[in-house]
Amino acid sequence: MSHDESILPDGQLSGDTEDPRPMSTWMIGICSIILFAVICLAVAAMFYGAVHRETKRKVVSVRTQATQLMREARVLALEQDAHWETWTDADGELTGERSLKIPMDQAVQLVIDEYGGEAKP
């Protein structure tokens, strides 16, 4: 029995369990890793691009509690009865002129009564 008879036709020994052609295994592995990295980078770029486009186009309309309270205060001020308003400093002295505050409906009616009527040609 010669030593050459135990060698298989493709160059592999009969008891050898290693890959007979490691180059193809390495090439497939390296190409798979590169392909995986490219896919991960492409997905991340698409995601961050979509987030960037969304934040650029988004119109944010935030109604805070402060603006809502201010709006309600203005509505209440318009609904008040006629009253005199004065401005005083910390000592209680009058700092400005007294002004008469009247509701909008009454003000419109006063203007119509004063300047309304028939139009002159």
Residues 40-88 pLDDT 10s: 999 999 999 999 888 887 766 566 778 888 888 888 877 777 777 777 7
Q: Considering the domain boundaries, does residue 102 fall inside one? A: yes
109: confidence class by pLDDT, cuts 50, 70, 90: confident
- 16 found inside a domain: no
Gap between the Cα atoms of 68 and 47, Å rounded = 36
Q: Which pLDDT belongs to residue 27?
A: 92
Boundaries of domain holding 48: 21-58
- Tally of domains in the chain: 2
Going by pLDDT thresholds of 50, 70 and 90, the confidence category of residue 29 is very high
25 in a structural domain: yes
Residue pointed to by tokens 């400005």:
96
Q: Say yes or no to pLDDT of 1 above 50.
A: no
pLDDT range class, residue 91, cuts 50, 70, 90: confident
CA distance 106 to 69: 25
